[in-house]
Structures are given as structure tokens and as C-alpha cells.
A and B are shown apart, each in its own frame.
Chain A
Amino acid sequence: MEVSSEYAVQMHGIVKRFNTFTALDGVDLDVRKQTVHAILGENGAGKTTLMNILYGLYQADEGTIHMGGKEVAITSPTEAIEHGIGMVHQHFMLVENFTVTENIILGDEVCGAAGVLDMRKAREEVMALSNEYGFDVDPDARIQDITVGMQQRVEILKALYRGAEILILDEPTAVLTPQEIDKLIEIMHDLIAKGKTIIIITHKLREIMQSADECSIIRRGVYMGTVDVKTSSETELASKMVGRNVNLTVEKTPAHPGDVVLSIRGLTVKDDRGIEQVRGLDLDVRSGEIVGIAGIDGNGQQELVDAITNLAKAESGSIKMKGKELTNTTPRNTFVSGVATIPSDRHRWGLVLPFVVSENTVLERHVDDEFGKGINLDYDKLRSYTTDLIKQFDIRPVGCEDERMSGLSGGNQQKAIIARMVSSEPELLIAFQPTRGLDVGAIEFVHKTLIAERDRGAAILLISFELDEVMDVSDTIAVIYHGQITGTFAQGTVDENKLGLLMAGGEAK
């Protein structure tokens, strides 16, 4: 592509090596001014590395960067900021106990004499900026007290405050609720209208279709081309990203539900602040069926799962597993009763990151005689067992039995959890946000595994904040709102609008 002033950023032939590993191998990126340009790729494809080079956090080993037709060298974030580049990191770079204003001015403070802060003026500037773009942030609120969506707007304001013309958004929707995503897309279009250019890193196809003008695709560090989003489709983007045809629709045969496995009656659970989050909830899950729970985050999903797995105390009601009472016993009892859980946050609940993979695969089962008698742990047995799982579930890199879990990519960590849970042949499998943060290929794998487990005869309880996922995978869809199930439908008998209405607390007609 020719260098021209029509482009806000042009990166050509970018090569980046980390020791012997080539993260980027001759990647091109041409971003037209005043457009939203998406960079699509699987986890670990090199999207973020490319943007870190543009933002000056890394130096490219080869290649050139042009901005507005002129070649530039960017060796630090400070220089990137001077060139009008702002980056919103996936993990926000905000000081939690600072106010919004303090976070925005940090490093570029509004000062009177001798470095004394002029907070009144700073606050006015922040307010003016916020109003100009319709952000509606409270300049005096502390970061720890505002929502994630609001925090993201503070990050965008931080970049705009520094005069950014080009905004890099790294996985901006990963942490947002559907409503916040809509608001973000609105904000992005507004910024474009006011002359800004946006580069968005993502692996969510739907958001690219909704927000981007062009999309550049990177696969394992190699540039796969740029497509015009208007003339493309989700399927085309997905197959370019993964390198093979991906089936975006979930294929499954009709369910053959058997007996009730999990039966919940009148369950009430309080959160750690003492507020009732689950309010008299009733739910049945049968063997050989997938029950999907649709709902917006914070409507009692976490507390429901915690109560079933005995991580939280049930105030009242009963949870029965094949007629046997589970309520207020122990997490161990839940597991030996045939319940396996894929937790929503794999780092917090699913894995011990500093442990090696083979230790992680037997976290629940290390006490079984199979892995050593008495106080002994049979590491050879542990390793061979893990080797089988790695093969069976295609966990990469091959031969990672003795690697620390923290060294695996998110998708492979999730595969390790699923392998562990499925290999115990549970009668009930709880999957809470099982595809969170995963790319298309890994999502397909997770969905297939859930359906295979169903066909084996397990009861599956799927809880997800992604409505599409619930609608595609579940045989029965239940809506949770305000700690209660407000509607139950067989798959195919309900549409998105109706579910959306119920999720927001409306009445079903």
C-alpha cells in the first residue's frame, strides 16, 4: 500500500521477535483517517503486540510507521502521546482510589506556581471534555465506586485530554454489559464524526460488523489481509481469522431429557454484603438436556452457582441432587455428589496459576486412591493422566504437563478446566460463562463439548451473559431477573426481543 496523507497510521512490514519466537512476521496495517479500523485475530495472534509497538511500549525489529504520510519513530508512550496516539488498555490503567479528575490529569497536571495543583481548573477542563463528547462522567467520583463502563469512558477521556487523534481500544467490550457495549459503539461513532480515528482490537465478530469500517486480520503473527466490513460477513471474517471454515451456528440433535437431576426449590441466597440476590428461585435440570440461564450480570447468577457449589450459604430453600439434599453442606460434598463446575473466573476459582498443568488437572481428585495412597501423591500417574487429557482435549502446547498453568493462553487454560471437569463424568455440569474471553475457535470447542456431555446423559446448567450463546446452545432457556426465574421456554419458541424484555424486568406476554 502506498504511503499517503489520507491515512492516519500506516505500519508496513512490521516484524517483532521475542528471543526465538516471532510474534509478528511482516504485518501491514493501513488505517484511513476518520474510520473505525478493527484488528481481528485469535488470542495470541499478535494484535496487542502490534498496538504496543504503535504505542511505543515495544520497538519493532523491522518495518516502518507512517502517520499522515510522514515517517515517524515512536520509542515510548510519551512520544506516542505527542503524536496524538492514545491507548485504552484491556486492563484499565486507572488508580482505583483516585478521583476521575485525578486520573485524567495524572502526568499532565493542571498546575499553578511551583507544581501546586489547580484542582478547580482541572475539574472544569474534565467537565468540558466530558460534556463535549456526552460522556456523562462525575469528575469527583472515585474509580472504585463507578461502573466498568464508566471507567472505560474515563480511559477514553484520558486519551482525549492529551489531545489524542487516534484512539486504540484493546478488547474494549470484554468487560462490558450489552447495554454498555451499545453505548460504547455510539460513542465511537460520535468520536469519528468529530474527526478522530479509532483502532479497535477484538475477536468479537458481531461488534466488528456493528462498529467498524475496515478490518485487518492477523493469524499467528502473519497479516491475512484487510476487508471492507460492509461487503463481508461474520462467517468470512471468522474463517480468515482461524484459517479454516468455522461453524458459527451450533449444530446439535434434539434433546432427550430424562429424570430430574438438579432440583431447586425456593432458594434464597444473600451476597457478602447481606443483600438478598437470589429470591425464592425454583429450577429443574434434567439429564440429557441443557438448561441455559439468560440474564444481565448481577441478577443473582453468581450467588446461585455459589449456593449449588456450597461456596455460599443458602438462607432458605433446598437444592437437591437426584433427591439427595445438597443445601449448606460442603464444596467437597457437591463434587462427590456428581456436580462439576466450570467457574466464571478461571483465575480466581478454576486454577492455581503457579501450579503446573498436571497438578491443576487433579485439584478435585488428588485425594482419590488413583493418584496415590495415604499421604503419597503419585506424580508419574498424575503426569500420564494429564498427558491423556492434553491429547484428548487438544491442550497446547503439547507436552505442557510440567509447565506452569500461568504460561498457557486463556483458551488453553479454559480447555484444561473443561478437561478436568468432564473427565470426572459428572451427572450435572455447571458452565458459568464458559466462553468468557475466548476466541471463535475455542468457543466452538466449548459448545461442542457441552453438547457431547449432554448426549452422554449429563444434565447441563449453562449460565451466560451472552444472550446469543444461551439461545444457540440451550434446549431450555430460563430467564433470571432480580434473583428469580421469570420465564422458561423451549429452544426456538422465543425470540431475542422477548428474552431481552424479560431480562430487563419487563412482563412476558
Chain B
Amino acid sequence: MESFFLLIGITLMYSTPLVFGALGGVISERSGVTNIGIEGMMVIGAIAGAAGSYFTGNPWVGFLAAGVAGALVALLHAVASVSFAADQTISGVAINMLAPGLALFACRSFFEGAAMSPIAPKLPKVLGESGLAGTPFVNLNVNVTTVLALIFAIIMWFVLYRTKWGLRVRAVGEHPAAADTLGINVYKVRYVCVLLSGMFAGFGGASVSIAIISQFTQTAISGQGFIAMAAVIFGKWTPFGAYGACLLFGFTQALVIILGGGDFVVPSQILSMLPYAMTIIVLVLFVGRSVAPKADGIPYIKGSR
């Protein structure tokens, strides 16, 4: 029983950064901008979160700083891909190459040349540090970020499918020229969505560096942004779909830990491959079948209709 709750707890814990990253992917791609740079934005979020928390002593300041830093990086992507109609894949790849270097540079300048940050204050757990202690349910006392991720997923679903803003975002991602002829500012919608995307990715980074662990390290993110992108596709570009996909990927990460700690004879190196292997399998099986927003990845140029 205890290991069952352990499995659930760890699944939720590891899926949280993925959920934030995937929500970022959903909102950006729904407006028609592919965001491969989620990974890079999460790295920047991780360092900004750790640094903000360390210097102010308040992890919430760190969390917000992570969102702002992610959005700033996303601004680069928005300028390149929305204003200048650059190839969105290249812009995203550039961000992924830039971000780890930038994060390390920031880390070394903030912390006297250290390649990782000192231990920073962590965000609280839902029921406080000692909630449910001594009961089998102790592992269900998840990080507050886990709950935030779920709340954001619900909000995003509501906004996308129940409000006029969501209707416009989806229209811009499907048929920007149609939206334009009805007086909707395609560029503005895409800017807002890409910036939100960066903010969510930044939150995702912080939910690693000041919730799961309590410092920035160079390997803190290591591919979670890419797994989040796979979750976007697997989840058919919907908030709840992506959320469910993230739970699945989080579950494989939990399996790595649970199986690795037991008496199994599977080498840990093989086990560590599991989340990534799972990502590839899911992509192979589902990429062809789920349908992306029609204008996803295509820059909108006024007049070329």
C-alpha cells in the first residue's frame, strides 16, 4: 500500500514540470506558433527561480521571477517568428542552444563562479512540511506546484473553450487570414500566446529547481522540455490531453525510481532510458494521427491570403 502511494506521489511530482512545459506548448501552438524552445525556457526558469528564491529568501518571488524570465526568452521567439516571420523551428532551436549557456553564465556571475546555485528555499508542500507524516499517505503531500499546474490546466481549458479570447486564439491558429478579415489582430494574439508560453515554461523550470530539488544544476531540466512537447502532441493540443500525457511520462519517471531502489536486477542505466524511450514510442505511434492546428508553424504575412 505504501509503495502504491509512493508511486502516485512520485508520478505527480515528476509530471508537474512537464505539465507546465506542455501548457506552454499548447497555448503557443494553438495560436499557430510552434515552440521548440520550451526546453530552453525551462532552463532559464530553473536558474531564475533558484536565484530569486536564494536572494530574497522567498521561494514565491523565485517562482514569479522564473515566469518573467521565461517570458523574456519567449519574447525573442515572438519577435523572430511573429514579427519577422522567421522559421519557427530554427528560432526555437536557437533558444535551446542559447539557454543552457546563458543559464550557466548567470549562475557563475551570481554565485562566484559556481556551476550550480547554493541551496535555495523551496516552495511549500500542500499540507506543510510535516503534513500526513507517519501515515501511509505521506507521499500524497505533494508540492504546491503540482496543484498549481492542475489549476492552470483547468483555467487554460476554460479560457480556450469557453471564452471569446480562446475562440480567437484557436481561430488564429487554424485560419489567421479569416481572423484578420474579422478585425482580430493576429500578431497581438500570437505575441500574447508566445509570452504566456514562455511564462509557463519558466514556471516549469522553477518547479524543478525550487520544488523537486532546491537548487539550479546544469542537468536539472535535461530534456523535460522535449518530453513536454511530446505530451502536447500526444494530448492533441488540448490542456487536459497534455495533462494526461504528462502524468504518463511522470509515471515512467516514477517507475525508474521505484524499480531502481528495489531488488530488481535491471541496470539503472537502462531504467533511466525509460521516460525517453516512452517519448519516442508515443511519438511514433501518435504523431501521424493527431491533427495539429492548421496554421501551426506557419508565419502569418498580411496580404498573402
**Chain A positions near chain B (C-beta within 8 angstroms):** 57, 76-78, 81, 87, 89, 91, 93-98, 102-103, 105-109, 111, 114-117, 158
- In-complex Cβ contact of A76 among B168, B171, B183 (8 A): B183
A293 CB → nearest B CB, Å: 34
Q: How far is the CA of A87 from the CA of B183 in the complex (A)?
A: 13
Residues of A within 8 A of B178 (CB): 93-95, 103, 106
On whether the beta carbons of A106 and B171 are closer than 8 Å, the reply is yes
- CA A117 to CA B165, docked complex, whole Å: 9
Chain A residues, Cβ within 8 Å of B184: 106-107
A121 vs chain B, min Cβ distance (A):
13
List A contacts of B175 (CB < 8 A): 93-96
Q: Mind listing 14 A-B residue pairs with CB under 8 Å? A: A57-B303, A77-B180, A78-B183, A91-B305, A94-B175, A95-B178, A97-B294, A98-B174, A102-B167, A103-B178, A106-B168, A106-B171, A106-B178, A108-B182
Contacts of B305 in A (CB 8 A): 89, 91
Contacts of A87 in B (CB 8 A): 181
- CB nearest neighbor in A for B161: A117
Contacts A93-B178, A105-B167, A109-B164 aside, 6 further interface pairs with beta carbons under 8 A come to: A77-B183, A89-B181, A95-B178, A102-B167, A106-B184, A117-B164
Task: For B168, list chain A residues within 8 Å (CB).
Answer: 106-107
Contact residues of B between 180 and 211, Cβ < 8 Å to A = 180-184
B156 at the A/B interface (Cβ < 8 Å)?
Answer: no
Number of A-B contacts (CB under 8 A): 65
- Chain A proximity of B170: nearest CB distance (Å): 7
What is the bound-complex CA distance between A115 and B158, given in angstroms? 11
The contact of A106 among B162, B163, B167, B177, by CB within 8 Å, is: B167
Asked whether B138 is an interface residue with its Cβ less than 8 Å from the other chain, the reply is no
The CA-CA distance from A250 to B186 in the complex, in Å, is: 49
Interface centre among B162, B180, B182, B294 (most CB of A within 10 A): B182
Interface centre among B167, B179, B294 (most CB of A within 10 A): B167
Write the nearest CB–CB distance from A472 to chain B, whole angstroms.
35
How far in angstroms is the closest Cβ of chain B from A74? 13
A81-B183 in contact given A93-B177, A95-B175, A106-B178 (Cβ < 8 Å):
yes
A117 adjacent to B162 (CB under 8 Å): yes
Query: Which residue of the partner chain, among A89, A93, A114, A117, contacts B167 with CB atoms under 8 Å?
Result: A117
| Nearest B-chain residue to A97, judged by Cβ | B174
Flag if B181 contacts A77 (CB, 8 Å). yes
For the complex, give the distance between the alpha carbons of A207 and B164 in Å. 39
Take A106-B171, A106-B184 as given contacts and tell me if A111 and B164 are in contact as well, using a CB distance cutoff of 8 Å: yes
Give Cα distance in the complex from A89 to B178, angstroms. 10
CB distance from B191 to the nearest CB of A (A): 18
Complex: how many Å from CA A78 to CA B163?
Answer: 21
Q: How far is the CA of A96 from the CA of B170 in the complex (A)?
A: 11
